[in-house]
Amino acid sequence: MKLSAVILARVLAYVESFDLNPRGKVYYPDIVRALAERYTFQKFPQALEEFNEAKGVEFIEGLAGNNVIQKLVIWDSLLVLETRSSTDDSKRILEEMLTWGTEKLGLNYHPGMIKHFAYVSDLASTVMCRS
């Protein structure tokens, strides 16, 4: 069998959102605008009801360098990022986002803060036949 396509490469990072903004100093709409601009997300929260972490705050179709971000979802205790390249790329992009957010927006993130990651891949393969 040969890998023919990566359909989904999802990373789940278990971290409490209040740990990333423990003093409430970072204004959520500013985070959303900055993420949407930096990663050119085509769909992102704009109405107040879309800022509900209990339902998931969604960003759709963005770009990180030469990697397409299919989706980013912020939950109250979980961050989810999906690409179609690899789970390694998804994790790297998510960690780069958090580092950038710390430097530019004042988030409270440091490497190693996320103690548990989970990965989901959906791969397509082809069977190689010899004649």
pLDDT score for 122: 82
Number of H helices, E strands in the chain: 3, 5
Q: Measured between alpha carbons, how far is 86 from 81 in angstroms, rounded to an integer? A: 11
pLDDT digits (tens, 9 = 90+) for 16-58: 988 999 888 889 899 999 999 999 999 999 998 898 999 999 9
**DSSP assignment, residue 25?**
-
Percent of the chain at pLDDT exceeding 70: 93
Stretch among 20-24, 95-99, 106-110 having the lowest mean pLDDT: 20-24
Backbone angles phi, psi at 27, to 5 degrees: -80, 120
CATH number of 2-121: 3.30.310
Alpha carbons 98 and 5: distance in angstroms, whole number = 28
Domain boundaries, the chain: 2-121
> What is d(CA 128, CA 131) in angstroms, rounded to the nearest whole number?
10
Residue 29: how many other CB atoms lie within 10 Å: 11
Q: What pTM was computed for the model?
A: 0.89
Residue showing tokens 């085509």 = 42
Question: If you average pLDDT over every residue of the chain, what do you get?
Answer: 91
